[in-house]
């Protein structure tokens, strides 16, 4: 990975630390080429224990790094940018993972010459199984795009999309893990109602989710084909899927994704 200087992380919470750990684990960058700043001394100490440099302030981080990953919550972004701005210069590349924070907003605060990449990752990045959508400001280069794909590819997969599509990415993969967790919760409750012990139902449901995801990712087959292969005519799976259809499962999923995308758009205003 080609960098003009250390890669800086403003914020070292769950997502920031997961991305940094992925870069180290996959040998994308050495610890001495990584720099963080976090207001929490315990988080700064955790990064230091990995051999990662710790900046004295957000301004110091900005001055020392050509590329910055903004890994702070959307609610604290304005304050974070105030602290970062004195150390900024036009040649910087800024990568933001804050939901709802637009490229225009970031360039309005940091300067229109600053190159900005807006990314929507998700929590499975914590186990190197993340899915991220990447949107580039018009002044980004192909090298910038390649760098972003390498960073987020270290903890999963990364797809480049136009910025307006980031709201859809947020609704699909950003919020998506919660949908599957909720489905598993519902399956466990239903299975225990059928007489299975909760701990057995939990293990079976979790492994079924893991196995189905891996089969979809690794087989190269469309989800519809894999579904059809499990569904024997007149069998148990067909009975369940018919009940899903009768109860409007597709409509419920579409409405949920619409609601998440709409909320993402609201956060960006």
Q: What is the percentage of the chain residues whose pLDDT exceeds 90?
A: 90
The answer for 205, left when phi > 0, alpha when psi is -120 to 50, beta otherwise, is alpha
Topology of the domain covering 7-166: Rossmann fold (3.40.50)
Band (pLDDT 50/70/90 cuts) for residue 268 is confident
Among 17-31, 136-150, 169-183, the minimum mean pLDDT is found in 17-31
What is the average pLDDT score of the chain? Answer: 94
Q: What is the pLDDT of residue 4?
A: 61
Q: Supply the pLDDT for residue 265.
A: 85
Whole-angstrom CA distances from 241 to 35, 150, 257 are 50, 39, 20
In the chain, which segments carry CATH 3.40.50.720? 7-166
Domain with CATH 1.10.3730.10 in the chain: 174-267
How many CA within 13 A on the CB side of residue 35? 20
Asked whether 46 and 18 are in contact (CB, 8 A), the reply is: no
- Quote the pLDDT of residue 153: 93
CA dihedral 7, 126, 14, 45 (to 10 degrees): -60
Q: What average pLDDT score do residues 20-42 get?
A: 92
Reported as a single tens digit per residue, the pLDDT across 59-88 is: 999 999 999 999 999 889 999 999 999 999
CA distance 268 to 103: 10
* pLDDT value at 5 more than 90: no
3-state SS, one letter per residue, for 189-255: HHHHHCCCCHHHHHHHHHHHHHHHHHHHHHHCCCHHHHHHHHCCCCCHHHHHHHHHHHCCHHHHHHH
CA distance 238 to 37: 53
pLDDT single digits (tens) 103-131: 999 999 999 999 999 999 999 999 999 99
Over residues 243-263, the pLDDT tens digits come to 999 999 999 999 999 999 999
Whether the per-residue pLDDT at 100 is higher than 90: the answer is no
- Nearest of 215, 216, 214, 190 to residue 202 by alpha carbon: 190
DSSP H or E segment with residue 153:
helix 142-153
Residue 117 dihedral angles phi and psi, to the nearest 5°: -120, 125
Q: Which residue has the higher pLDDT, 241 or 27?
A: 241
Q: Are 89 and 113 in contact (CB under 8 A)?
A: no
Q: How far apart are CA 76 and CA 175, in angstroms?
A: 20
Per-residue pLDDT at 2 exceeds 80: no
Pairing mode of beta strands 115-120, 130-136: antiparallel
Q: Let me know: does 6 contact 65? Beta carbons within 8 Å.
A: yes
Q: Is 100 helix (H, G, I), strand (E, B) or coil?
A: coil
CATH class of domain segment(s) 174-267:
mainly alpha
Higher pLDDT: 4 or 100? It is 100
């Amino acid at each position: 990975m080609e960098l003009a200087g250390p890669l800086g992380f403003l914020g070292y919470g769950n997502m920031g630390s997961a991305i940094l750990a992925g870069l180290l684990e996959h040998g994308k960058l050495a610890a001495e080429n990584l720099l963080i700043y976090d207001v929490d001394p315990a988080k700064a100490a955790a990064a230091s224990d990995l051999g990662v440099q710790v900046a004295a302030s957000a301004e110091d981080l900005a001055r020392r790094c050509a590329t910055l990953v903004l890994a702070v919550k959307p609610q604290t972004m304005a304050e974070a940018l105030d602290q970062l701005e004195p150390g900024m210069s036009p040649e910087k590349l800024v990568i933001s993972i804050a939901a709802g924070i637009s490229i225009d907003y970031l360039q309005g605060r940091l300067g229109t010459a600053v190159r900005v990449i807006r990314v929507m990752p998700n929590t499975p990045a914590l186990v190197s199984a993340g899915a991220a959508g990447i949107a580039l400001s018009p002044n980004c280069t192909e090298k910038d795009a390649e760098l972003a794909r390498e960073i987020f590819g270290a903890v999963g997969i990364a797809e480049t999309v136009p910025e307006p599509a980031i709201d859809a990415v947020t609704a699909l993969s950003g919020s998506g893990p919660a949908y599957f967790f909720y489905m598993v919760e519902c399956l466990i409750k239903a299975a225990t109602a059928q007489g299975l012990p909760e701990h057995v139902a939990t293990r079976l449901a979790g492994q079924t989710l893991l196995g189905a995801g891996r089969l979809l990712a690794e087989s190269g087959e469309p989800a519809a084909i894999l579904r059809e292969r499990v569904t024997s005519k007149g069998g148990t799976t067909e009975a369940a899927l018919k009940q899903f259809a009768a109860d409007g499962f597709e409509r419920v999923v579409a409405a949920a994704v619409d609601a998440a995308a709409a909320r993402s758009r609201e956060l960006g205003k």
